[in-house]
Amino acid sequence: MKARKLLSILFCYTLLQTLIASTAFAKDAPIYIEANHMTSTENTNTVFFEGDVDAKQDDVRIRSNKMTVFYSKASKGEKSQQVKKIICTGNTEVTRGEWLGTGQRMVYTTKDKKIVLTGNAKAWQNQNMVSGETITYFLDQKRSEVVGTPQKNKKPSRVNMTIIQN
């Protein structure tokens, strides 16, 4: 039983090292993840974090109720797996420098290095705020795209923005 627990801990350590090597946030910086509970499932290549999840790497921070990390199997000759996607649900908040994005769900894909926020999605840059149905943030480009929220009266969907002028 102790050997199995040790193997599980080593696996999680290896996975966290994989996160460090494969995310767009800051390849050389360590990732720190805290949560109330963690479950690693090798059969599905996932690690699930639940309860006050707080992940940090360099100047990026992700907070949510739940986080699932999806990774590929290690190929022959490779020492570690590669993270493919991270999904967060429940009160999700992503910060990078002065950019803050919130929503009920976040999907981060490593291939295109983008974050997609949905569910009452909002983003702030300093005091300026934009909201819509979906906010996509491209990490490499530090660029956001916003798709409006559908209206109940069947008007075209709209994006809302507030710009604070000094």
Start-to-end CA distance of the chain, whole Å, equals 62
pLDDT value of residue 79: 65
Length of the chain: 166
pLDDT tier for residue 58 given thresholds of 50, 70 and 90: confident
Number of Cβ within 10 Å of residue 27's Cβ equals 11
Bridge-based pairing of strands 143-147 and 160-162 is unpaired
Residue 148 predicted with pLDDT over 60: yes
Bridge-based pairing of strands 114-125 and 99-109 is antiparallel
Tokens read off for 40:
């690693």
The model's pLDDT over 70-129, given as tens digits with 9 standing for 90+, comes to: 988 777 766 667 778 999 999 999 998 889 999 999 999 988 889 999 999 999 988 899
Tokens read off for 135:
């906010």
In whole angstroms, give the CA distance from residue 100 to residue 113: 17
Residue 8 predicted with pLDDT over 80: no
**Rounded average pLDDT over 124-151:** 88
Domains of the chain: residue spans and CATH: 2-162 (2.60.450.10)
In whole angstroms, give the CA distance from residue 119 to residue 101: 12
DSSP 126: T
pTM: 0.77
pLDDT value of residue 119: 92
**Rounded average pLDDT over 22-51:** 80
pLDDT tier for residue 14 given thresholds of 50, 70 and 90: very low
In whole angstroms, give the CA distance from residue 119 to residue 122: 9
**Rounded average pLDDT over 127-152:** 87
